[in-house]
Amino acid sequence: MSSNNCGITIALSKGRILEETLPLLEAAGILPTEDPESSRKLILPTQDPDVRIVIVRATDVPTYVQYGAADIGIAGKDVLIEHGGQGLYEPLDLQIARCKMMVAVSEGFDYAAAVKPGSRLRVATKYVNIARQHFAAKGVHIDLIKLYGSMELGPLVGLSDAIVDLVSSGNTLRANNLQAVEEVMPISSRLVVNPAALKLKHERLQRILTDFEGAVARQAA
């Protein structure tokens, strides 16, 4: 199916995950031959002729790995839950790009009253599966509105009562007079592996996994 039969292909996305991933790659002896952040290439060679990096959209990382177009990838837990995780082995929490999935509302909105049994809440989010699971577990009925970005605008213009979004510093919420009212779950980035590739290229992939594990443990210490 692919031109990917002996080498290793790693799927990464630009942005904050890449920044925090580069030290882990280095610990695994994987050194891109040019700066992935500034390069316009979609396929980046590394100093190891058998290892290449492909740069994809964050939400597409699980798809590339699921279909074996990449052997391994790094994606946020948020992305993995929304994707569903079919066809992916998720062996390692890299503990990078850490943030929280939160429910946020306009300052002054009575969230406690809005989630009482029998009431309905309009929720705008990019993370529809996570939001649906969260409110179902609380027994709260919601009307879900799917957005692709700038969720913070939702409550400000009356599109929704609440949003479900990733929060790290809380600066964006504050700048828009929103407040976080509930944590849905902690989020960090995970290593994902194609299970068939793990069998076929076991030695090389297992070594990368072990190197990543060591780097994560050192980083935590």
d(CA 97, CA 24): 13
CB of 76 to ligand ATP, least distance (A): 2
d(CA 69, CA 64): 5
Complex with ligand ATP: residue 77 or 201, whichever CB lies closer: 77
CB of 173 to ligand ATP, least distance (A): 11
Rounded to an integer, what is the distance from CA 18 to the centroid of its chain?
12
CB of 14 to ligand ATP, least distance (A): 7
CB of 54 to ligand ATP, least distance (A): 16
Terminal-residue alpha carbon distance, the chain: 42
Burial letters 175-196, b for 16+ CB under 10 A, else e: eeebbbbeebeebebbbbbbee
Residue nearest to ligand ATP (CB): 76
Q: Name the residues that contact ligand ATP, by CB under 6 A.
A: 15-17, 58-59, 76, 78-79, 97, 99, 149, 166, 168, 187, 189
CB of 34 to ligand ATP, least distance (A): 20
Complex with ligand ATP: residue 17 or 69, whichever CB lies closer: 17
Complex with ligand ATP: residue 83 or 201, whichever CB lies closer: 83
| Cα distances (Å, whole numbers) of residue 100 to 9, 17, 162, 167, 169 | 29, 15, 16, 5, 10
Helix (H) or strand (E) holding 166: strand 162-167
Complex with ligand ATP: residue 4 or 59, whichever CB lies closer: 59
Complex with ligand ATP: residue 76 or 154, whichever CB lies closer: 76
Two tokens at 65? 């790995």
* Phi-psi category of residue 169: left, alpha or beta, with phi > 0 → left and psi -120 to 50 → alpha: alpha
Complex with ligand ATP: residue 99 or 198, whichever CB lies closer: 99
CB of 100 to ligand ATP, least distance (A): 9
